[in-house]
Structure 1
Amino acid sequence: MKEDLLIGELSRRVDLPAQTVRYYERLGLLDPPRRTASQYRIYSSEAEHRLRFIQQAKRFGLSLDEIKRLIKIRTEGAAPCADLKTMVKQHLDELDQHIQEMLVLRQELAQRYERIESVLSKPSAASIEDSCGGKICQLIERDDICGNQQG
């Protein structure tokens, strides 16, 4: 037995705002629902299943475009599992690269902090004024504080 759902009931069942359901429909992630005579959207249980699939796929780190691609592959009769594997591997590789970049940034920032701490820990008030001089803040403007010594 097919259950027909108005958008409010569907959105409550899948814990998504009705606006998101309509957005997914506009993107083509959901088939257009039937309409009542007064133009209310009527969704089938298949729409509920599709929305739950989208939520699960997002937990894999997939974009809506990637999810749409998987759905399209399935509706064309093929299994999208190999494509999913490729997508997840690409996300893992990008995440690994981002982690490495963040580790390098963290190290650079820690070194800059240590240099700033060293400059500001000097007891001389003139030293702080000299360090914080410049057009805005000499601690940023001075290359040697930033670790970018040139020349």
Structure 2
Amino acid sequence: MNNLVTWLRAELGRVEQIARAAGGGEWSADLSDFVEWDMVNGRRTEVGREPGARLRGTQAWVYAYPTVGAASVLENARADVLHIAAHDPAAVLRRIAADQQILDQHQPVWADACTTCGTAEEYPVPWPCQTVRLLAVGYGWEAPR
């Protein structure tokens, strides 16, 4: 089997194990506990409760500790929480299942040609086809130079 496909199948398995170890469930962002910060005379004044946000469905928290001149730190932490929740273990497992099906559909049938992307006789598409190569890039594959 091609090195790229061997690597991709191993990577899909590795990412799946990580998602399952994280509980495999859905997470959502809870931004209610973010601290509001005011800068008064160069000093930070806290307004609110905790400097972080919880990801519902897990025990994970993201904390933000703004410093003088870092007004966007809190907004960045909010964005981090929303991003993490959007890529929760359940979403990762769905993506892996879909990617495995794509990979299974793009296998060489004859003479190392992908017959999903072309035909073996009239229009051979060398395997691994571009679909498989692009799928691998999404998981961090870098083509040898």
Q: TM-score, normalised by structure 1?
A: 0.27
Which has more helix, going by share of residues? 1
Higher RCO by CA contacts (8 Å cutoff, separation 6 or greater): 2
Which has more strand, going by share of residues? 2
Larger Rg: 1 or 2?
1
Q: TM-score, normalised by structure 2?
A: 0.28
